[in-house]
Amino acid sequence: MPIEHPKEETMSLLLSQPGPQSPTSSGRGFVVTLLLVLSVLLLNPSSLLQGDDPPPRRVKIRRSLRQPEPEPDLTIPIGIPTPAFAGELPADAIVKNRTGTYGGRLVYAILGEVDTFNPVEPKGATDQEIRAIVFSGLVDYNNGNWQTGPEVAKSWDVSDDNLTWTFYLREGIRWSDGEPVTIDDALFSFQAVFHDQIATSIKDGFKHPETGALPQVSIDRDRNALIFQLSRVDSQFLTHIGNVRLIPYHKWKDHLQDENPTLLQQMTSNAPPEDLVGCGPFVLKNYVPGEKIVYQRNPYYWKKDARGQRLPYLDEVVILLVKDLNLQWQKFEAGELDIFMELPADHFREASAMEKAGKADLVRLGVSLNSNWVCFNLHPGKDAETGEPFVDPAKSYWFHELEFRKAVNHAIDRDGIQRTAFQGRATPIWSSITPGNRSWYHKGVPTYPHSIDKAKEYLDGLGWKDSDGDGVREDDQGRPIVFNLNTNVENNLRQQIGNLIMQDLRKVGIKVNFKPIIFNDLVTSLRDSHRWDMILLGWGSGVPPDPANGKNITLSSGRLHAWYPQQPEPATAWESRIDSLMTMMDAELDDIVRKKYYDEVQELIGQNIPILYLIAANSYCTSKTNRLGNLWPSLLRPQLTWNLETLWIRD
């Protein structure tokens, strides 16, 4: 679970075109300066003056936001694929229950920039996202039904002790250069990831938490199978397997030397496109740094649809690299992009207006998996150089008081935040797992509904009262309760939330100095310098949305264990219990039992509230009206393009 990156802000004010309307003055208004009127007029208030309205209609509210799986339609034309397919369709081909028409190109935009195309070591989120277009793994996570399914491996089985996993490879499928995909390729790909001298984050998932041992890989040529021997039971093993993308042995065998392997210097962002040999649905056609990535159909792709036609349907996929969200949105509005994923809250009204005008489909995905939270610094440590404590002893004393944290939690008006910052399009949350996460959401987490009286009661109970009448309470040693709240200045929404929290706490006699700072400084102080009092930030969710992916947050030794990271040993009994619950979760394959463990984790955090979860926004995507077939939107990234091989363009 990464820290949610701040949305890129625009640096330019873009004025819209002057509108045709003129005001109809009835003369009853107040006299104002002409300039004021003119300027407001110039800024196009046409949207304020809505035109013809449709008559009231009666519709039934459709509350289920679960996106249905697309159904095949055998009547649509087949079309002609350009470039055409090559090679024979493998006997083992995966059959997708879809239909579509060949041709067309899909254009969308992403925020980041490509660091490398090498699937062994994806560096940023962008690399992660785009490598799935060219490279396939043994198994694949289906964002639509939230399950891991077979991909290059046609099936797998697990031994009774859950330590030996055998993956059976599909036969007759080919790389994008026409060579067959063999068991040697699969073995080679895992050897590359497990190589001593290749540092890749993919490897970390396989490591034994204590010994660091990696699974033993071997092959069984008779059964065409890859066998993994694990040193511990790992519930996330399939996810880790899916993270490893296959690369061709015949192409890179000379680059995996025992000493100083040169594999990571291959398939970089300036490698020739034909070097990127994979078995995914598309191959790289053209990459212009800072501008776009163009993919075309992999002629040897090995999946077929309900009519026996080979996939993918799209001739081309174009990803524009646009560094600014507002710019991306303008491109979508201008019709340059077919889809727009992760609609920012401040473009909702425009998107909804486009929907009403029939220009775009607004996909409502329900409550997002990303959470916003505030957290107190509970770090008891001291700066190694100066010997000063990270947190002022007085503040540390308040923050460690559970009653104080409860008071703060009661004082924060989540409904107010929802109404103000999100205009109603958000849901208050009490745990890192939002209601959007159908598999892991737990209703039994303690809640602290907004109540100023209760907050005051808790503070009075501690004996922290406003003795000098300045509106700020003093603690039992007479120190006024004043501390700082930081958030990242790039995110307007969080600035609003911070401002509201400041106001809420002022009402119960706690003075908060709200200071938005630069994101990088914020993360540095959170992770390294530990010099902060209270922080407002958010977690983004990983794929799959399994809490085991959030171990760096939940475990007391985790680097993002926000309130006191990288503890040498659990600081409290409940953190120690959480650690052991997380370990038990790892060793359990039954998701029902695992959920029970994690429910307890959520309850423990809810009871001790070192971190106060606030609110999760609703999630939206947009696409051009009726432009794409087989769209199956998902809450998980990439929301609309995860099933790229079955998307097709309606024209």
Partner 1 sequence: MTDTQPPQSNLPPPRGPWTMLWHRLRKNKLAMSGAAILLVLYLISCFGGFIGPYGSNEINKYTVKYGPMLLGGYVIEKIDELIDEDENFEEIIRDTYIRKWEWFEGGVHFHDSDGNFTLRPHVHPLREYVSWDAYGETEYILAEDRSISVPVSFFVEGSEPHEIFSLCGFFPIKGLPHLMGIAAEDHPTGKDLHTGLFLLGTDILGRDLWTRILYGGQISLSVGLIGILISISIGLAIGGIAGYFGGLVDFWLMRLVELLLAIPGLYLILTLRYAIPDELSPRQTYMMIVAILAIVGWASIGRMIRGMVLSLRECEYALAARALGGSSTRVILRHLLPNTASIVIVTATLYVPYYILGEVALSFLGFGITEPDSSWGLLLKDCQGSEVLKYNPWLVTPGLFIFLAVLAYNFLGDGLRDAADPRAFLGVSRKEKS
Residues of this chain, 471-490, that bind partner 1 according to CB under 8 A: 489-490
34 binds partner 1 (CB under 8 A): no
Nearer to partner 1, 150 or 416 (CB): 416
Coil/strand/helix, residue 165: strand
CB of residue 346 to partner 1, shortest distance in Å: 5
- In degrees and rounded to multiples of 5, residue 241 shows phi and psi of -60, -45
| CA nearest neighbour of 240 among 138, 169, 309 | 138
Cα separation, 150 vs 104, in Å, equals 28
- Indicate the residue type of 327: L
Which residues ranging from 89 to 108 are in contact with partner 1 (CB under 8 A)? none
CB of residue 615 to partner 1, shortest distance in Å: 13
Q: Which stretch binds partner 1 (CB under 8 A): 24-32, 92-100, 213-221, 375-383?
A: 24-32
Query: What length does the chain have?
Result: 651
Q: Which stretch binds partner 1 (CB under 8 A): 36-44, 112-120, 122-130, 432-440?
A: 36-44
157 binds partner 1 (CB under 8 A): no
Coil/strand/helix, residue 316: strand
265 binds partner 1 (CB under 8 A): no
Cα separation, 105 vs 285, in Å, equals 13
| CA nearest neighbour of 226 among 266, 255, 185 | 185
43 binds partner 1 (CB under 8 A): yes
Which residues ranging from 570 to 629 are in contact with partner 1 (CB under 8 A)? 618
Which residues ranging from 500 to 519 are in contact with partner 1 (CB under 8 A)? 500, 502-503, 513-518
Nearer to partner 1, 475 or 490 (CB): 490
CB of residue 627 to partner 1, shortest distance in Å: 21
What is the DSSP track for 430-483? SSSS-TT-TTT--TTS------HHHHHHHHHHTT-B-SSSSSS-B-TTS-B-EE
Nearer to partner 1, 412 or 548 (CB): 412
20 binds partner 1 (CB under 8 A): no
Q: Where are the alpha helices (DSSP H) in 393-518?
A: 393-399, 402-411, 414-420, 452-461, 492-507
Q: Are 615 and 494 in contact (CB under 8 A)?
A: no
Nearer to partner 1, 50 or 260 (CB): 50
For 480, which DSSP code?
B
25 binds partner 1 (CB under 8 A): yes
Structural element, H or E, at residue 226:
strand 225-229
Q: Are 178 and 169 in contact (CB under 8 A)?
A: no
Q: Which of 238, 421, 536, 636 binds partner 1 (CB under 8 A)?
A: 421
529 binds partner 1 (CB under 8 A): no
Which residues ranging from 398 to 417 are in contact with partner 1 (CB under 8 A)? 413, 416
CB of residue 492 to partner 1, shortest distance in Å: 7
Q: Which of 18, 45, 77, 124 binds partner 1 (CB under 8 A)?
A: 45
Nearer to partner 1, 59 or 74 (CB): 59
The two structure tokens encoding residue 625: 């009206």
For 96, which DSSP code?
P
633 binds partner 1 (CB under 8 A): no
259 binds partner 1 (CB under 8 A): no
CB of residue 104 to partner 1, shortest distance in Å: 28
Structural element, H or E, at residue 283:
strand 282-288
Q: Which of 24, 260, 270, 477 binds partner 1 (CB under 8 A)?
A: 24
Total binding residues toward partner 1, as defined by CB under 8 A: 75
Q: Are 320 and 109 in contact (CB under 8 A)?
A: yes
272 binds partner 1 (CB under 8 A): no
Q: Which of 162, 231, 420, 439 binds partner 1 (CB under 8 A)?
A: 420
Nearer to partner 1, 107 or 426 (CB): 426
Cα separation, 179 vs 204, in Å, equals 31
Which residues ranging from 345 to 384 are in contact with partner 1 (CB under 8 A)? 346-350, 364
Q: Which stretch binds partner 1 (CB under 8 A): 55-63, 72-80, 217-225, 372-380?
A: 55-63
CB of residue 58 to partner 1, shortest distance in Å: 5
CB of residue 325 to partner 1, shortest distance in Å: 9
- In degrees and rounded to multiples of 5, residue 380 shows phi and psi of -90, -5
257 binds partner 1 (CB under 8 A): no
443 binds partner 1 (CB under 8 A): no
Q: Which stretch binds partner 1 (CB under 8 A): 201-209, 233-241, 264-272, 325-333?
A: 325-333
For 13, which DSSP code?
-
Which residues ranging from 328 to 347 are in contact with partner 1 (CB under 8 A)? 329-330, 333, 346-347
**Neighbouring residues of 166: CB distance < 8 A, sequence distance ≥ 6:** 156, 157, 158, 220, 223, 225, 226, 227, 228
**Neighbouring residues of 220: CB distance < 8 A, sequence distance ≥ 6:** 166, 226, 227
Q: Are 101 and 76 in contact (CB under 8 A)?
A: yes
CB of residue 50 to partner 1, shortest distance in Å: 5
Cα separation, 481 vs 644, in Å, equals 54
- To which residue do tokens 């540092």 refer? 199
Cα separation, 432 vs 299, in Å, equals 43
